[in-house]
Amino acid sequence: MRPSGAGQSSAPPPHPSAPRPPAARYRPPPPPANRPPPPPLRHPPRHPPPEARAPKPKRKRRWGRIVFTLLIVAVLAIVGAGVWIDTSLHRIPALTALPDRPPAGSGTTWLLVGSDSRQDLTPEQQAELATGGDVGNGRTDTILLVHVPGPWSDVAPTMVSIPRDSYLPIPGYGEDKINAAFALGGAPLLAQTVEQATGLRLDRYAEIGFDGFAVMVDAVGGVTMCPSEPISDPLAGIDLPAGCQELDGRSALGYVRSRATARADLDRMTNQRQFMATLVHRAASPAVLMNPLRWYPMAHAASGAVTVDEGAHVWDLARLAWALHGTVTTTTVPIGDFTDSDSGSVVVWNTDAATRLFHALATDSAVPQDVLDAGNV
């Protein structure tokens, strides 16, 4: 019996050394024609998304504490500087014991005085500032009435020049030029003379001398003035061209003292009012108040240069400066005549116009335009 498959020839096994046919490689089918390209690889974000960030309230609180601390330090510095300046002011009894005083009016009325005393100046300083020689107790080179209306008034502050040659009764001395009152009895007699001549009750008094004036101007970095005509005055130590220019302390002092102009004393009073308003505006400007290198020297100069009445404080001076920082009505006491007397050439007031001027100040009223015109001749 033949086994299964008998009679069929079987293929011989391959020889061990015979080569094998190569295996077929797998090739993926091509992508469909309309298949979109694969999206680009996205790297994981380096930072967690905003919603995953942890809140940082501590940093906010830290900045809040820093700002609050700086504000506290600034307030303390301002208060401390104010207290220091207030305690450094030179005070005199200018208004304390005046007899027969007029009734109090509305608002606040200041008497501002520029003294020409050289007593505190060395010979070198007198030469530098071109003040001339010593004149003893000195007289008043500038006399200004400044009325600041009450808080609810819509009237602008008013600055009034009193001619220093005004011929007025001086209590206890008869009639004389008003600046003689300062030489005879100092600030109290001058204040009494002004009150009796004007009918205004003076609320505050402030005085500055030659040296203090120059130091104040230099402390604020100078003041820009614009004379319409050249001013050459060897006695005042100035030679100024026409046009706007910045004046330092020495030149500014000569500018407000000079009478080497066409109208002499009348021009000088106008220049004094303009300069005072410009100086106050400069002192209250951000360029000075926001700069410690300006406001500290200014405050230091003011504390040593300004003399006030016993009831005045540094915040009163600050309110005065702020009031003069804006619109100010300026004029001179209306003049009726220029004449001669035993005291030399004198100025006689226009009684009617002057009375109306002082009544307007006492009642916080607007000064009538014809009175302003009479004073600004």
DSSP per-residue string spanning 303-319: HHHEEEETT--HHHHHH
- The amino acid that residue 71 corresponds to is L
Confidence at residue 32, expressed as pLDDT on a 0 to 100 scale = 60
* H-helix or E-strand spanning residue 249: helix 249-257
pTM value is: 0.75
The C-alpha atoms of residue 84 and residue 87 are separated, in whole angstroms, by 5
Whether the CB-CB separation of 299 and 88 falls below 8 Å is answered with no
Q: Residue 169: its pLDDT value, please?
A: 96
**342: its two tokens:** 């035993």
Of 85-94, 312-321, 326-335, where does the model show the most confidence?
Answer: 326-335
- The reported pLDDT for the residue numbered 21 is 60
For residues 277, 280, 285 and 287, what is the CA-based torsion angle, rounded to 10 degrees?
110
On the CB side of 311, CA atoms within 13 Å amount to 9
Domain positions in the chain are 78-375
* pLDDT of amino acid 3: 47
Instruction: State pLDDT tens for residues 357-373.
Output: 999 999 999 999 999 99
Supply the CATH classification number for the domain 78-375: 3.40.630.190
List of residues 6+ apart from 189 with CB closer than 8 A: 170, 171, 172, 181, 182
Find the radius of gyration of the CA atoms of the chain: 43
pLDDT at residue 6 tops 70: no
What integer is the mean pLDDT of 325-334?
90
